Copies of this chain bind each other. A is one copy, B any other.
Amino acid sequence: MDNERREEAVTILRKAGFRATEPRLLVLSFLQNAKYPVSIQEIVAGMGNKSIHQVTVYRILHALKHAGIVTQVDFRHGRSYYELRDEQHDHHHIVCVKCGRVEDFVGCDYERLAAKALKQARGFATIVSHSLELFGMCNTCSKRKVRAA
C-alpha cells in the first residue's frame, strides 16, 4: 500500500472513532483498490502473505458499515458484497446472471422514489435506505446464449 493511501485510511478510521490497526488498514486498502463490491472471502484471499482471520474481516466490515464507511450489497449469490460508500453518487449495480460480472449505473432517482413510496405506504414515516440491483446478461454471455440456443 502506498503511503498516501495509508494515511488516508488512517484518517478515515480515526475520524470514525476506530483504532488504526493493521487488519483494518489492509481491508480498507483492499476496498479502495477494488473496482466492484467484494465478498469477505475475496478479501481474505486477497491479503497475500499478511493473513487476516475471516472473523476479523466480518467484524471490521460490520463496524465500517455501521460507521457509514462501507455499504453492503446483495447480488443473489448467497453472500454479501462490500464496497466503500460513494457519497457523491448514489450508484447501483447491474449483475450478469450467468457469469457474475458487475457494472455500475447511476440515476435511480432516489428522492422521487422515496417520496412516491411514502405517499403510498401510509404506515411509514420515513425512509432511511434503499437497495436496488439490476440483473441481466453481459455481452459475452449474451452471445454465448444465442449460439447455444
Contacts and interface: CB of A to CB of B under 8 A. Distances in A.
Given A131-B133, A134-B113, A94 B121 contact: yes
Chain A interface mostly helix, strand, loop or mixed?
strand
A109 B132 CA distance: 12
Interface range on chain A (Cβ under 8 Å from partner): 35 or more
Contacts of A118: 136
Interface in A104-149: 104-109, 113-114, 116-118, 120-139, 142-143
B97 A108 contact: no
Contact of A117 (B94, B125, B142): B94
| Number of copies of this kind of chain in the complex | 2
B129 A135 contact: yes
Interface of A: 74, 76, 92, 94, 96-97, 101, 103-109, 113-114, 116-118, 120-139, 142-143
